[in-house]
Amino acid sequence: MKRLVVMLVLSTLVAACGGESGDGPELLGQELFHEIVVGGKAGCGSCHSIEAGKDGVGPSLAGVGTAAAGRVTGLAAADYLRQSITEPDSFVVEGFNAGVMPRGWELSDEQIESLVDYLLGL
């Protein structure tokens, strides 16, 4: 009986802390970004740091939410970020090579929008 009570309390706690229901898109984006594997490919964090000046295989994404607005004339920050996930080679960041960032992510539109929201805040 005691055990059952403990388990009930535990499962209530887990239900209260976990779950994506209460998370905003930005939080979901943050989670997705830091997954080891996301959309069937290597996670974003394996190539991108979010610390300024720390480039990895890909450029550091610190401040990318601001930089995005100036990348391609006529393309708003959110549109640029969406495009850099779905068509990474349509604009290649100076000093980096095309063809390195994976394409064909198995991500839903909602997941991509969450990632865009997260990146906009960096």
Applying the rule CB under 6 A, the residues between 24 and 43 that interact with ligand HEC are: 33, 38, 42
Residue 93 as a binder of ligand HEC (CB under 6 A): the answer is yes
Residue 100 as a binder of ligand HEC (CB under 6 A): the answer is yes
Rounded CA-CA distance 47/60 in Å is: 9
Residue 108, CB-side half-sphere exposure with 13 Å CA sphere: 6
The distance in angstroms from the start CA to the end CA of the chain is: 49
Residue 119 as a binder of ligand HEC (CB under 6 A): the answer is yes
Residue 81 as a binder of ligand HEC (CB under 6 A): the answer is yes
**Least distance to ligand HEC, CB of residue 41, Å:** 6
